[in-house]
Structure 1
Amino acid sequence: MRLSALACLAALFAIPVHASDWSLAKEEDGIKVFLKEIPGSTFKAFRGETTINADAAVIKRLQEDVEGSCEWLHACESQRLLKQEGNEAWSYTRIDTPWPAKPRDSIVHVTNEPLADGGFTRTLQGAPTYLPEESGYVRVSELDGYWRIEPVSEGKVKVTYEVHTEPGGEVPAWIVNKFVVDAPFNTLSGLRELAESKVGR
């Protein structure tokens, strides 16, 4: 009976560990980066989290400025809006990929949804066939993720940025391993710096 009870307790305490699967890869300057193995993929998903001293409206304006967001998006060479339709948008991005990997580009379908607390989510879905492939670029074949902006107090929001991609073609392991940590960290750092500089303007 005692062994059975101990086994049950062990199973109960083990559930959260297996349910999460996210491992902390970096924590610095108020930004946390987590990584997760994805079944059937050789590329890890990433999740970045931080708080920003700005309200949700400031973040929303910066994210909807498609061309301007290259200022803070990690490895963004250029970006343009392809189509806007209500709460949906399609954008084209050229990615500054380190040598020796071939240059990448991606097309992302973004869906904006308000949250009851005054925040919002931006669901990200790759749309690789929306336009013909560009000469000299390898199209990112899959992309799934989201932004979630949640107010935590007046003038402060929690920002979560989660993405998993299949970059297409061959990519050296060291580039992949560096990208999944640098992308959320540098993106959130850049967004936070710009957003906080806009407060009060």
Structure 2
Amino acid sequence: MTITRAQGFTGILARLLGALMILILPLAGTAIDHPPLPAEDAEAWTLRKQDDNIRIYTMDQTNSGFQAFKAVAELAVPIENLMAVMINPESCKEWVHNCSESFAFGQSDFHDRYAYSVNDMPWPVTDRDYVLRIRTRGNADTGEVFMDLNAVPGMRTEVGSRVRVDRSDTLYRFTPDGNRTQMVWIQHTDPNGALPGWLVNNLLVDIPIKSIQALESVAKEETYQGYRLQWSDDGKLTGVVPAER
């Protein structure tokens, strides 16, 4: 099959956007100088694409040329498996599209932790890196788990060969339904660099679809079986632990 120059250019741009859209976690004790993420039930969400069990919505953002997106997915995997993936600081490489490096750093616990990750960018664009603060909380009455992710670029020294992303806000909500889980993922990233907003907005709907499909597959692997959510007597989520504990 012959690939035209336009098709090749489109493919490079798609990879570029994928590299920018990292998963990843609102921010306690730190000032936020930009608007919060839009509400999950806001009327301004527009359905852009549906792929089997995944729906992608987008919304324009004030003072930004880049839209926010909302992904809603019904995953055929228990919430315990998904959370076992999410608490692994290196799992970004397994399911987030184009994530090439990820690890935890600094003092942290289950509820409040830090992670560093790198997105592999197609040549000649410079790789992007993220420094994230991740907060996790749960609701014992519903069994839901929430994860809030925010870029905190000043928490780690910049690497000269990479461009630091200084604005990325994400919310994950996982709701159990027997052996299935509903996932809601809301994100707005304002990437550094000369990327036209219209182009990013036209491509970004495919990135969460690829990542969610990979997450569902990874959560079914043997490595992430045999876990349970641990709750305190007062209904707070305290960890994700092996089922025999």
Give the match for residue 91 of structure 1: 115
Query: Does the 8 A contact of 1:33 with 1:46 survive in 2?
Result: yes
Cα distance change on mapping 1:41 and 1:172 into 2, 3 Å: closer
**C-alpha deviation, 1:27, in angstroms:** 0.6
Give the match for residue 68 of structure 2: 45
Tell me which protein shows more strand as a share of its residues: 1
Q: Distance in 1 between matches of 2:201 and 2:209?
A: 13
Query: Does the 8 A contact of 1:75 with 1:183 survive in 2?
Result: no
Spell out structure 1 runs of 4+ moving beyond 3 A.
98-101, 172-175, 196-201
Give the match for residue 204 of structure 2: 180
Query: Where in structure 1 are there 5+ consecutive unaligned residues?
Result: 1-18
* 2:215 counterpart letter in structure 1: L
Give the match for residue 85 of structure 2: 62
Query: Does the 8 A contact of 2:129 with 2:164 survive in 1?
Result: yes
- Which of 74, 83, 88 matches 2:97? 74
Mapping 1:114-125, distance limit 5 Å: 114-116=138-140, 117-125=142-150
Query: Does the 8 A contact of 1:74 with 1:182 survive in 2?
Result: no
- Which of 148, 155, 158 matches 2:173? 148
Q: Distance in 1 between matches of 2:67 and 2:179?
A: 33
Query: Does the 8 A contact of 1:87 with 1:112 survive in 2?
Result: yes
Q: Distance in 2 between matches of 1:103 and 1:69?
A: 16
Q: TM-score, normalised by structure 2?
A: 0.69
Deviations 1:110-160 (A, max 9, x none): 000012311200001110111121111111111111110001x21111001
**C-alpha deviation, 1:169, in angstroms:** 2.4
Q: Distance in 2 between matches of 1:200 and 1:124?
A: 25
Query: Does the 8 A contact of 1:144 with 1:164 survive in 2?
Result: yes
Query: Does the 8 A contact of 1:101 with 1:172 survive in 2?
Result: no
* 2:115 counterpart letter in structure 1: S
Deviations 1:80-133 (A, max 9, x none): 111323411110110122345322111111000012311200001110111121
Greater shift in the superposed pair: 165-174 or 99-108: 165-174
Query: Does the 8 A contact of 2:165 with 2:192 survive in 1?
Result: yes
Q: Distance in 1 between matches of 2:113 and 2:74?
A: 26
Q: Distance in 2 between matches of 1:178 and 1:132?
A: 33
1:112 aligns with 2:131: no
Q: Distance in 2 between matches of 1:39 and 1:101?
A: 27
Q: Distance in 2 between matches of 1:50 and 1:99?
A: 32
* 1:20 counterpart letter in structure 2: E
> What is the aligned length?
183
Q: Distance in 2 between matches of 1:42 and 1:174?
A: 8
Identity of aligned residues (%): 25
What SS is found at the alignment partner of 2:63?
A: coil
Give the match for residue 159 of structure 1: 183
* 1:67 counterpart letter in structure 2: E
- Which of 108, 130, 136 matches 2:155? 130
Query: Where in structure 2 are there 5+ consecutive unaligned residues?
Result: 1-41, 227-245
Give the match for residue 21 of structure 2: none
Tell me which protein shows more helix as a share of its residues: 1
Greater shift in the superposed pair: 93-102 or 187-196: 93-102
